[in-house]
Each structure stands twice: as structure tokens, then as C-alpha cells.
Amino acid sequence: MFDMMLVRTLADGAFHSGEALGERYALSRAAVWNRVRALQQAGIPVHAVRGKGYRIPGGLDLLDAAVIQALLPPGHGLPGELQILAVTDSTNERAMEALRRGSGIGNVVFAEQQTAGRGRRGRAWVSPFAANIYMSLSREFSGGLAALDGLSLAVGVAVCDAIADLRLPGAGLKWPNDIVAGAQKLGGVLIEVSGEVSGTCGAVIGIGLNVDMSREQTAGIDQPWTDLRALGLPGGQRNRVAALLLGRVLSALDVFAQHGLGAFLERWRSLDAIRGMSVEVLLGADRITGISEGVDEGGRLVVMTDSGRQVFHGGEVSLRRSA
Ligand code: BTN
């Protein structure tokens, strides 16, 4: 059984004896041990030292809904509920489930850990406990699916703006919405839609942002990655990161709903990490190479190839080593 109360106690990084924990939670020492094992199985490094008890070396920087709300920049009233889950399959799935039930618009879901975190293009999103930000918001848009074109680019800008608020240099965007630092991935955006092709549709906007991951936690990641810690973020800042990110995304969604992608293009272009570089676009079975010329007014990627200029609406872009 995953015991979040026990996690909160151990989050201070100090030793807690099995006896003291047992008394505190009215459990036998064997039951305490079983719960510690469940935490270890979830990847939380709880150490047991004979004669001293249990501890999580270095402690944990847990999310706290009240702290996030207090740190939200002024003018960003939450449109719905803010929920922090300890462990869930995917915050996008939780938000989507609420949409399917006909509720949840305006809600925000964070999780400390995702067991089936989803990335773009069917990839898994590695989501270790209390290490990063995993956040999903639900929002309604009128104008059908077409009105959502470009939304993921706008959200990518909002994520970079939040990183700039933290005074961390070096974050940029790789089309369409990878948040990168150099050639390493720092975060990503996954938007899933439910509803009408025309008319009102509900969108779940999911954001993963790497904050502070240890090497052991990253075994499943199949691409170069980095985190905010490596960019210079001090420890103990996850709630601040969460609040700044949420504030930036909420206001970007309002601006997008009113003005569309046009309001974000200049900023997107200033953050473009691959413009002028030699790229390969993977589109189904096709690989197209050329020089990236950035995005057009519709947010599509423009690439100068040997056979002329091509515009991509979808596809996976990677950098080629030689220009
Ligand atoms: C990408 O592949 O670049 C997109 C990654 C999106 C990950 C986030 S984490 C919160 C939300 N829940 C998910 O299952 N996925 C998104």
C-alpha cells in the first residue's frame, strides 16, 4: 500500500525509527516495514539503518496545493480545482476521464509520479516520484478542432516564459513544442482533445518539465535530457516552478482563446532552437532533410530541401550532425 502520510513524514530527510512511526500511525513495526517496502518499490529511496530507523537521504521536495496557490502570480485566479495526486497513471488520463464524464473544465491536476506517463507519438514519459512537474489542465475552446491548431506551440512558449521567470538561461523550443536546452530535452507538451470536430471541444493540456532527476531515476529515457537543476535552479523549488508554470500557462490559454497563435509567433521565433540548422523530418516512412527556416504564420515548420521549400504540419524533427 502506497502511504502518502508516511512519505510526508520521511520527506524531511531525517531518521524516523520504526517504533516512532508505528506509534504515530497506529501500526505494528511489521506493517511499517511493509509500507516502507511499497515506497521502495515505487522508486522512492527509503534507506533502513539498523538502530536508527528509516530515512530518505536528502529528503523530498513535495508539491503542496496551498503553497502553489499562494505562489501563483497575481491575476491568475484558478478557473477550477487544483488537485495533487501522489501516484497516478497519467495526469492527462485523469483530466481526460473527467472531461468524458462531462466535468473537469478548468481543473488542474499535478502528480508526484506517473506510472504510465504519456509522451507524444505514443512514447512513454518517464515520471519518477517528486522529481519533476507533471501537470494537466482542462479547457474548453469554441471553433472546433481547427481552432486548436497551434495551441501546443503557444503552450511551449508559456513553459519557456516560466523558465525565464526563474531566471534560468538557455531554454528554447524545438518544433513543434519540445522544450530544450541545447540538444537536450527539458520538457514537453501533450495536448489531447475530446469533443466535436466543429463546435465546442475540450482540450487536455499536459506538460512535463524536468526539475531535478537523479541518474538512477532516468533509466528509461531514450533521448538526451536535462533538468532545471542543471540550468542552475537551487533545490527545494518545485512548488515555485509549479506555480510559475501554471500562471504562465493559464494566461497563455486565455490569450490563445482570444487571439490565436498569432499572439505567440514572435516570441516562438525568438525561442526557436533549430532555425538555420540542418534537420531531418520523419513523416511516416519518409525522411526529409533540409535546413529549418522556422515556423510560418500557421505554426507549420518550413524546411528548405534540395527540391525546394516544404512545409510540415506534423512529423518528428531531429537535428542532423553535419550542416
Ligand atoms: C512529449 O513527448 O514531449 C510530451 C510529454 C508530455 C508529458 C506530460 S507529463 C503530464 C502529462 N501527463 C502525461 O501522461 N503526459 C503529459
Can you tell me which atom of ligand 1 is nearest the CA of 91? 12
Radius of gyration, CA atoms only, the chain: 21
- Mutational test site, ligand 1, from 63, 125, 227, max ligand atoms within 8 Å of CB: 125
Rounded-to-integer distance, Cα 119 and Cα 220, Å:
13
Rounded-to-integer distance, Cα 106 and Cα 238, Å:
22
> What value, to the nearest 5°, has the Cα angle with vertex 64 and ends 63 and 69?
120
Alpha-helical segments (H) within 122-277: 151-165, 228-231, 238-259, 265-271
Ligand 1 shell residues, CB under 6 Å: 90-92, 114, 117-120, 123, 125, 134-136, 178, 188-190, 206-208
pLDDT 10s per residue in the chain (323 long)? 889 999 999 999 999 999 999 999 999 999 999 999 999 998 899 999 999 999 999 999 999 999 999 999 887 778 899 999 999 999 999 999 998 888 888 999 999 999 999 999 889 999 999 999 999 999 988 877 877 889 999 999 999 999 999 999 989 999 999 999 998 999 999 999 987 777 888 899 999 999 998 766 777 777 889 999 999 999 999 999 999 999 999 999 999 999 999 999 999 999 999 999 999 999 888 999 999 999 999 999 999 999 999 999 988 899 887 54
Q: Which residues contact 188 (CB under 8 A, 6 or more apart)?
A: 119, 120, 125, 177, 178, 179, 207, 208
- CA 179 to ligand 1 centroid distance, Å: 12
Q: How far are the Cα atoms of 54, 88, 125, 126, 154 from residue 116, in angstroms, in the given order?
A: 28, 8, 7, 8, 25
Name the nearest CA neighbour of 99 among 153, 155, 137: 137
